[in-house]
Chain A
Amino acid sequence: MAMDCIGSSDAFKLGILGSIVRRSLDAPRRSVLAHPRTAPPDGRQLTPPPRMTVRERLREKISAAFYRHGLLCASYPVPIILFTSASILACCYPLLRLPLPGTGPVEFTTRVRDYTVPSHEPQGDLGEQPDWYRGPPVAYIQPVLVKAAVSPWDSTLVPVDVFRSPLGRVFSLLEEIRNHVHDDGSGIRSLEALCLQVTDLLPGLRRMQRVLPEHGCLLVSPGNYWQNQRELFDSDPDLLKTVHQHEPKGLHTSATLRDLLFGVPVKHTGVSLYSRKRVVTYTITMVLGSYDARFLSSLRARLRQLHPSVNCSLREDHMVHVHFKEEIGMAELIPLVTTYIILFAYIYFSTRKIDMVKSKWGLALAAVVTVLSSLLMSVGLCTLFGLTPTLNGGEIFPYLVVVIGLENVLVLTKSVVSTPVDLEVKLRIAQGLSNESWSIMKNMATELCIILIGYFTLVPAIQEFCLFAVVGLVSDFFLQMFFFTTVLSIDIRRMELADLNRRLPAEAGMPLPKPGPLRPREAPPPPRPSPHTITLQTPAFRNLRLPKRLRVVYFLARTRLAQRFIMVGTVIWIGILAYTDPAGLRTYLAAQVSEQSPLGDGGAGGLPPHLGVAPVFPGPGGDPVGTLSVLPAPAEPTPLPENQSQGHHGAPGEGVPLVPQISWGAEDEEGWRRLSFRHWPSLFSYYNITLAKRYISILPVIPITLHLSPREAIETRHPQDTRHPPPPSLKTNDLPADLTLYKVAALGLAAGVLLVLLLFCLYRVLCSRNYGQNGVAHGRRRRGDLPCDDYGYSPPISEISPLLLCGHSMDIECLASDGMLLASCCLAGQIRVWDTQTGDCLTVIPKHGLRRSSSSGCWEQRDGWDAVGVAEPENLGGGTEPGGGVFDEGEGYPLRRRTTPRPALFENQPDLTPLIDTNFDSQPPSHLLLTPPRDGFDFGGLVEKAYLEHEPPSPGLTASYPSPLSGPPPQRRRSLGYIQPPAPQGQETPDWESAVWAMELRGNLIAAGRSNGKLELWDAVEGSLRCSNEDGVSGITALAFLNNRIVAARLDGSLDFFTVDINKPLGLLQYRGPPGRSNMPPSPCYSSEDVISCQLTRSVQCAHQKPITVLRAAAGRVVTGSQDHTVRVYRLEDSCCLFTLQGHSGGITAIYIDQTMVLASGGQDGAICLWDVLTGSRVSHVYGHRGDVTSLVCTTSCVISSGLDDLICIWDRSTGIKLYSIQQEVGCGASLGVISESLLVTGGQGCVSFWDLNFGDLLQTVYLGQSSDGQGVRQLVVLNNAAIVCDFGSELSLVYVPSVLEKLD
């Protein structure tokens, strides 16, 4: 099949790049996925077989089209993204014409003279008419602005007189207005007929019931405070109190009752004891339901006639229509907010499912962008074709998103991600796309059908919704196909690149990955003169360990994105405010400016009075003469005010200085502008009339000037009015008036300070404290938490210097330690005992004199290693070993192989080559060509051994074992010059023939298990063989030495329990007292004469069906893990099997148990299980690795695992959630140890690295040798005294961690 060709050629290409080939062999699912159900790779398959139904043919065609489309998208990502962006922008362009969102009212001014009620039908030609200007308004507002003053002011008057008598005149004015009747032959019109009739106030407004009118004309004035009854007013002892008692408590920004009744802002009313200007201003507001020009003009003329305003120059020929936007109140907001919360939850739960991609956040963002811009496109397109949206966008938006959905995007991602990883990116995209094409198309068709059904409900709102949804769906599909697919391909490619960069060793010529965005300030460490350099690793390496959320936070903090967003948002908001001008800000500013500048004042106030007089009279009505002529009789009986005002009219002319000047300025022309923009909506809302999306018309104001004589003021005085003291001083006069302003300012300032503090705290939390310095600070990091950290204390260079323990001639095979002593065994079979404090070599076993030719042993081991090398043919290069080829031919070799190459095993032993060559010469060829029959030669045993000691065996290798393993491992070959070594102890004969497969050290006894099943006990200090047991014949694969018991696991799956008996108790612990500082170790507690015997107490023959791979003992328990997928727990005392733990779906490769009875196991399936040893129940079960779990360590809070995928994962122990993972170098994943609760040490290529477990920070890297590309550290043992020992080729390296020592003290 063509697909296979592509696959293999692709793999070949990758193989050239190096060490990737195995990935093509890696995935077991490849066998499934290489033949995708619906992935026609080329046109050949497009021709359907004749038996196909229409549906299948359609399906084929769709998937073929998707396949090609996927190829296209992945091949030309940049042009396609550009094209998509351009089309999004083009489709959104019509949106520019839509009004900006904002709640400010919009105005439109027409002339009064030829005003007609606008019709409902839109008229095309009226260009400047806004589209809301249709139909009659909700109401016409006719304000009557009254300015009244007592003049001349004389000193006998008390402050209350300033407003009592002027306010008292409101009642006669109201009377006048109510009784005004206009009769022009066509009928008698009165206010009752024209005004807006209101019914009940809304329930819940009981306290307003006495003040606001009900069941009648909506006519509001200050008289409403006293129910429009003069008697109540006259008997009111304290007018100000009456006014104030209706004010809401606290700060109130929207329209208050006082504003509503007075019709002017509070500080302009002059109703105050401290008024300086002594002019009282208020408005009588008439709300008219219908417009009658004649009535209004007659009323205007009548009022003017009664109370002429001489210097009034107000323009009266314009009426203003004010359109109000949708009101969004708290109550409306609650359901809206709920829907948005649901929407976000939906988006969250959806995008959470995106997995296995390079950047989860990026893809989630792309998904959201896809949906949002498809919505925008939908609105834009609908607008383009003349459909104006009438629905509230904010309300239907969440539902649109939910209808369109994110599902397709997720399905796409999932499908693409699950394609085989070894394919080329564009093939992956194409395959993933075509796999899901059918379901995508089906879903889309279903949704379109549902929406079409909705369209035929014939409800306009639903129809509009459906229309938007259809266009949105189609544009969403378009964006998915072009935008999201392309982004996905870019993401996948990035992942591939990152993968390549990570996988390839640096010397392969690949460019190093760029330093991640996180730590740009980290300079690479300067080269150090010391051969043992301690350096931080390169930033690229360090980048991989932080949790993602932290990285995002750091990114935000570093780029100060949040700050910038806030700034930009504020600027935009202010701009929008200034643009839409909701609160009349511009007018207010203009008024302020004109008030303050004398020039503006003179220009505005000086000129118009003279000019303005003339147009006043002919101005208003259509026929002023007619109106005047039909002035009705009832106006006559009120001559008094007319006379009075006439009489006082002359007063200002006489130049009396105390006369308050009543002036009419431009600001009075539209006095309502100074009110809150919520003034009218709140007035109407009291009667359950909404102004949202409707408009009102405000008629030109009728000015009335009232001059009252002091006598009248005194007459109307209430007896209690004189109690008020005169104003103390003029200085403080303006203070109370502006108090609200100060309050607002103070509150604003406080809020601002609070905000700044809050932001500062946030900044401190998010950002690095030492901004310019090295390293990244962690907000969560506590002081003293770490032994050494990035920026605080880092130990001096000289303190961590590895101590090299030289002596072995070959690579180290086994390591064992009890804290004080360290035993190591090399491939040559030589055991050396070291003092861990000083690093001195105490003993060499066998002693030099006794050694026979180690070359044969070496040769034996060598073969074993070669066999390992064979497992990775790509690493073998030339395939120098004939044995390797033979091994490869073994049948039953599974498709699945080890996923991790271990080039270090082979490449790092160049010095062995001559040895091998010599041995080749000395060997007969028949021994070289190892072509064993299946039962003849247990080659797998060697491999097994190698794996056991270094890494757990891989499934591929173990599967190739000959099934009957019970037979004794036959001698591999005759040892040529084999000399029976003299037994100095006399009683035992050390066996040099077979290799040491397992070694344990307790006290000064070394237990060594050999490949021929022999268990030997050596004296660690004297180097003498104390006893030997040859009960078993199968090779000992693992040993556990606890107290006086030794447990040996054998290759055939049996488990042997030995007891070590001495004639006097074994003083195991006494040796630990004085550490040997000299070369001469203190003598052991048992004398050399003591007879030590090792007896097999119990042998569990079939402990496991398959070879035991791991054996651990602690806390009186022995735990074994085997190839047969089970873990068994034995009691040490009586060798009783307590539990058989099942749960893994692969062989057990790693087990951890410690004194606290924590048992963790890892298997070849990549799973890690935590068990409760007391009950045998599984506590948690996580899948962590792609490939075997190679080692496991637990701390009290977390579990650390490493796998064949070179990943070290840190899990939370209680919840089983992965905290983070550390990418290791190739082949070095297996060696790790925990020094303290928060310090992890891992082995690398010629170095060991220390990590902070809490944060995943690399603390230090200690290089073991001079060349950085040394051998990989395969074994690592943590000693009690906070030192670590690791193998380094043929040497051992002892690294002290001094800071940890301090911590432990």
Chain B
Amino acid sequence: QSTVRSGSGQTDPSRGPYIAVITNRSTTLVIRGFMLFSIGVFLALVLNLLQVQRNVTLFPPDVISSIFSSAWWVPPCCGTASAIIGLLYPCIDCRLGEPHKFKREWSSVMRCVAVFVGINHASAKVDFANNVQLSLTLAALSIGLWWTFDRSRSGFGLGVVIALLATLSTQLLVYNGVFQYTSPDFLYIRSWLPCIFFAGVITMGNIGRQLALYECKLMSEKTHQD
């Protein structure tokens, strides 16, 4: 089955104030991690469905259960990965000392997620002439996503590294037989996987940063009070 990392569906906007109320840092961290995890799981399921659709043109009435037909550990893995990435991004921003200022709004994050789902959609639904074309198109789209919503060097670097690592581990899994693609065309899978990973990393990073923004506000307020 295909694995897809994922971005946010709906992060409940009403949670903002509640988070702000909680002043404990670790609690906030856990909550953030949990939100990112659930977002990751949700989008993994949905995007997996998109990929399944590519291979099965029409669902018979009772194939709806095939959402969960892939290996059970795939969505939790995606969720964990997205939680790690989403926490890692603001942390790295903090460490590097260059706080991310570009387009810090929920609407922009939503736009990013929508574009990410769109990239997945395109890779699943659009028929490309050959794999090189698919690869190039997806790469261009992913980099466009980064440029539109991120534009930070750390984000780009982290995205590339994680995408490569994830692709590598997926391939290892496949070669060891733990995991297999529905489509036998290895080249086909390989061509789109890194780009999707990259876009997913950027998206999750975006969400993570936005979530971290609440905490930052909180901290700054506290220091101000002190």
Contacts and interface: CB of A to CB of B under 8 A. Distances in A.
Interface of A: 202, 204-205, 254, 327, 329-332, 334-335, 338-339, 341-343, 345-346, 348-350, 352-353, 395, 398-399, 402-403, 405-407, 450, 453-454, 457-459, 461-462, 681-682, 685-686, 688-690, 692, 1143, 1177-1178, 1181, 1215, 1217
A580 to B, nearest CB: 21
Nearest to A331: B59
B97 interface: no
B82 to A, nearest CB: 15
B10 A345 contact: yes
Nearest to A338: B46
B177 interface: no
A681 B126 CA distance: 23
A677 B104 CA distance: 50
Contacts of A398: 114, 118
B94 interface: no
Contact of B60 (A343, A686, A1143): A686
20 contacts: A327-B58, A329-B58, A334-B67, A338-B46, A339-B117, A341-B9, A342-B110, A345-B13, A345-B106, A346-B110, A346-B114, A349-B107, A353-B107, A398-B118, A450-B148, A454-B140, A457-B136, A458-B133, A459-B133, A1178-B224
Contacts of B163: none
B128 interface: yes
Contacts of A403: 115
Main secondary structure of the interface of A (DSSP, over half): helix
A450 B110 CA distance: 19
Nearest to A1217: B17
B13 A349 contact: yes
Nearest to B106: A349
B107 A406 contact: yes
A341 B10 contact: yes
Interface string B56-83: 1111111111110000000000000000
Interface stretch (B47-55, B154-162, B187-195): B47-55
Contacts of A682: 60-61
B121 interface: yes
A204 B60 contact: yes
B122 interface: yes
B127 interface: yes
B126 A462 contact: yes
Interface string B28-56: 00000000000000010011011011001
Interface in B107-165: 107, 109-111, 113-115, 117-118, 121-122, 125-129, 133, 136-137, 140, 144, 148
Contact of B110 (A345, A453, A458): A345
B116 to A, nearest CB: 9
Given A348-B13, A690-B57, A402 B129 contact: no
A254 B61 contact: yes
Nearest to B57: A690
B45 to A, nearest CB: 8
Given A341-B9, A402-B118, A1181-B221, 4 more contacts: A202-B60, A205-B62, A331-B52, A342-B117
Given A202-B63, A254-B61, A682-B61, A338 B9 contact: yes
A254 B60 CA distance: 12
A454 B57 CA distance: 26
Contact of A342 (B10, B17, B221, B226): B10
B13 A461 contact: no
With most chain A CB atoms within 10 A of its CB, the pick from B118, B128, B226 is B118
B107 to A, nearest CB: 4
Given A330-B64, A345-B110, A682-B60, A462 B117 contact: no
Interface string B85-114: 000000000000000000001110111011
A459 B137 contact: yes
A1276 B122 CA distance: 68
B26 interface: no
Nearest to A207: B62
A330 B61 CA distance: 9
Nearest to B144: A450
B183 interface: no
B225 A688 contact: no
B46 A353 contact: no
B118 A399 contact: yes
Interface of B: 8-10, 13, 17, 21, 43, 46-47, 49-50, 52-53, 56-67, 105-107, 109-111, 113-115, 117-118, 121-122, 125-129, 133, 136-137, 140, 144, 148, 221, 224-226
B137 A462 contact: yes
Please name the 10 residue pairs, one residue from A and one from B, whose CB atoms are nearest each other, closest first: A346-B110, A349-B107, A690-B58, A349-B106, A350-B107, A402-B114, A461-B126, A399-B118, A690-B57, A331-B59
Contact of A457 (B52, B121, B127, B137): B137
A201 to B, nearest CB: 9
Given A331-B49, A349-B105, A459 B60 contact: no
Contacts of A346: 107, 110-111, 114
A722 to B, nearest CB: 38
A688 to B, nearest CB: 7
A1225 B121 CA distance: 58
A342 B13 contact: no
Contact of B57 (A335, A407, A688, A1215): A688
Contacts of A461: 122, 125-127
Given A349-B107, A406-B107, A1215-B17, A329 B133 contact: no
Contact of B111 (A338, A402, A454, A1181): A402
B47 A335 contact: yes
B106 to A, nearest CB: 4
Q: Which of A331, A461, A1217 has the most CB of B within 10 A?
A: A331
A1202 B122 CA distance: 55
B66 A204 contact: yes
A841 B20 CA distance: 54
B58 A692 contact: yes
A547 B192 CA distance: 50
Among A254, A462, A686, which residue has the most Cβ atoms of chain B within 10 A?
A: A462
B211 to A, nearest CB: 14
A343 B52 CA distance: 23
B56 to A, nearest CB: 7
Nearest to B17: A1215
Given A349-B13, A459-B133, A339 B58 contact: no
A406 B64 CA distance: 35
Contact of B225 (A329, A348, A689, A1177): A1177
Nearest to B140: A453
Contacts of A1178: 221, 224-225
Given A353-B107, A395-B121, A342 B60 contact: no
A457 B133 contact: yes
A352 B50 CA distance: 31
A1214 to B, nearest CB: 8
Contact of B49 (A202, A334, A353, A1217): A334
A371 to B, nearest CB: 13
A205 B127 CA distance: 28
B59 A349 contact: no
A108 B127 CA distance: 29
B110 A349 contact: yes
B128 A459 contact: yes
Nearest to A1216: B17
B46 to A, nearest CB: 5
A342 B107 contact: no
Given A332-B53, A334-B46, A349-B106, A343 B225 contact: no
A335 B59 contact: no
A335 B50 contact: yes
A431 B58 CA distance: 55
A686 B49 CA distance: 19
Contacts of B17: 1215, 1217
B58 to A, nearest CB: 4
A694 to B, nearest CB: 11
A281 B61 CA distance: 27
B140 to A, nearest CB: 7
